[in-house]
C-alpha cells in the first residue's frame, strides 16, 4: 500500500485555530487516499500565506514524503502555493504530489505542464484580488474611512515599548559583561606600567582583544571602558 503525507494550509492563524477550511481539506484528502488506496501516515497543517516560500510545515511535509517514499497529498492546488515559480520548483524536483481538486491530471511531463499552467492562473487570481483590495482601501481612505483597531494599536505600541526596553537591557548586560571580561587584562597592563590610554589601547590591539563594540581599541574607547570600571584611574593621554 502506498504511503501518503497530507499538507493542509489556511491563510491566517485565526482560521487555523477555528478550523475554518481545515476540515474540508482534511475530508478531501481522506477521500483521495481511500479512492487510491493510500495509507495516510502523517498530516502537516500550516497557517501562512500562499505567497510565502519559507513555510516550515511544507518543508517538513516534503522532507518526510521523500524519506518515506510517500506521495504528498494536497486538497487544492492553491493550498500548496499561489506562486508559480514555487509550484514549478516542486514539480521539477520529481516529488510525487497529487491534488484532490485535480485527480485526473496524469503523471509525467504532461501533468507537470498542466499543473504549472493552473498555478499561473492561481497566481494571476491572487494578484488581482490583492490589487482590488488595495484599490478599495485607497478609495475608502479618500472618503475619510479609517482602518484598524485603535485599542489593538495601543496595545501593540505598549508591547513594542516593553520589547525595546528589554532589548536595551539585554544589550547593556552584554556590554557590561565584555567590560568585566577585559578588566583583568587592563589591570595587568597597569601593573606592568602601561597606564596611558594610548598605551593600553595599543597593547589590547596587539593581543588581539576586541573592544566591547567588536572593533579595534582607541584611546577614547579605553576611556569609556575605564569609566565603567570602579576605582581605576589612568593618565589621560
- What are 153-178's pLDDT values in tens digits? 677 667 766 667 777 777 777 777 87
Percent of the chain with pLDDT over 70: 75
| pLDDT confidence of residue 43 | 93
Residue 139, number of CB atoms within 10 A of its CB: 10
| pLDDT confidence of residue 15 | 47
| pLDDT confidence of residue 113 | 72
Flag whether 234 is in a domain. Answer: no
Confidence of residue 31 (pLDDT cuts 50, 70, 90): very high
| pLDDT confidence of residue 33 | 95
The angle that helices 84-92 and 109-142 make with each other, rounded to 10 degrees, is: 160
Start-end of H helices in 37-99? 56-68, 77-80, 84-92
Based on the fold, state whether residues 117 and 160 are members of the same structural domain: no
pLDDT of 121 over the 60 cut:
yes
Flag whether 235 is in a domain. Answer: no
Q: Residue 120, class by beta-carbon neighbours within 10 Å (0-12 exposed, 13-18 middle, 19+ buried)? A: middle
Confidence of residue 17 (pLDDT cuts 50, 70, 90): very low
Based on the fold, state whether residues 127 and 75 are members of the same structural domain: yes
Confidence of residue 16 (pLDDT cuts 50, 70, 90): very low
Number of domains in the chain: 2
| pLDDT confidence of residue 12 | 65
Domain enclosing residue 158, as ranges: 151-227
Flag whether 54 is in a domain. Answer: yes
Based on the fold, state whether residues 96 and 127 are members of the same structural domain: yes
Flag whether 55 is in a domain. Answer: yes
Based on the fold, state whether residues 88 and 7 are members of the same structural domain: yes
Q: pTM of the prediction?
A: 0.48
Based on the fold, state whether residues 31 and 130 are members of the same structural domain: yes
- What average pLDDT score do residues 115-123 get? 68
Q: Which of 138, 161, 188 is the last residue of a domain?
A: 138
Confidence of residue 128 (pLDDT cuts 50, 70, 90): confident
Percent of the chain with pLDDT over 90: 16
Confidence of residue 29 (pLDDT cuts 50, 70, 90): very high
Flag whether 175 is in a domain. Answer: yes
pLDDT tens-digit map of 74-108: 998 888 876 777 777 777 777 888 889 887 776 66
pLDDT tens-digit map of 179-211: 888 888 888 888 888 889 999 999 888 878 888
DSSP strand E in the chain: where?
A: 3-10, 39-47, 71-74, 97-99
Based on the fold, state whether residues 124 and 35 are members of the same structural domain: yes
Q: % helix / strand / coil in the chain, to the nearest 5?
A: 60, 10, 30
Based on the fold, state whether residues 94 and 10 are members of the same structural domain: yes
Quick check: helix, strand or coil at residue 6? Answer: strand
Q: Which of 90, 109, 138 is the last residue of a domain?
A: 138
Q: Which of 91, 109, 138 is the last residue of a domain?
A: 138
Flag whether 43 is in a domain. Answer: yes
pLDDT tens-digit map of 57-75: 888 998 998 888 899 999 9
Based on the fold, state whether residues 32 and 70 are members of the same structural domain: yes
Confidence of residue 124 (pLDDT cuts 50, 70, 90): low
Based on the fold, state whether residues 214 and 159 are members of the same structural domain: yes
Amino acid at each position: 500500500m502506498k504511503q501518503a503525507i497530507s499538507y493542509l494550509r489556511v491563510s491566517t492563524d485565526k482560521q487555523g485555530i477555528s478550523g475554518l477550511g481545515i476540515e474540508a481539506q482534511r475530508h478531501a484528502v481522506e477521500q483521495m487516499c481511500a479512492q487510491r488506496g493510500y495509507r495516510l501516515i502523517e498530516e502537516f497543517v500550516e497557517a501562512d500565506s500562499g505567497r510565502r516560500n519559507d513555510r516550515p510545515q511544507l518543508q517538513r511535509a516534503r522532507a518526510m514524503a521523500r524519506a518515506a517514499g510517500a506521495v504528498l497529498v494536497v486538497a487544492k492546488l492553491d493550498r500548496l502555493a499561489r506562486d508559480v515559480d514555487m509550484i514549478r520548483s516542486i514539480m521539477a524536483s520529481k516529488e510525487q504530489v497529487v491534488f484532490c481538486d485535480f485527480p485526473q491530471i496524469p503523471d509525467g511531463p504532461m501533468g507537470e505542464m498542466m499543473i504549472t499552467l493552473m498555478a499561473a492562473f492561481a497566481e494571476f487570481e491572487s494578484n488581482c484580488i490583492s490589487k482590488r483590495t488595495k484599490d478599495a482601501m485607497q478609495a475608502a481612505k479618500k472618503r475619510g474611512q479609517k482602518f484598524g483597531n485603535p485599542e489593538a494599536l495601543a496595545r501593540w505600541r505598549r508591547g513594542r515599548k516593553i520589547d525595546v526596553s528589554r532589548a536595551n537591557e539585554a544589550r547593556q548586560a552584554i556590554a557590561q559583561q565584555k567590560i568585566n571580561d577585559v578588566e583583568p587584562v587592563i589591570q595587568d597592563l597597569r601593573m606592568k606600567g602601561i597606564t596611558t590610554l594610548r598605551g593600553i589601547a595599543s597593547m589590547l590591539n596587539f593581543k588581539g582583544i576586541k573592544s566591547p563594540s567588536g572593533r579595534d581599541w582607541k584611546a577614547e574607547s579605553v576611556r569609556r571602558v575605564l569609566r565603567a570600571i570602579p576605582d581605576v584611574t589612568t593618565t589621560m593621554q
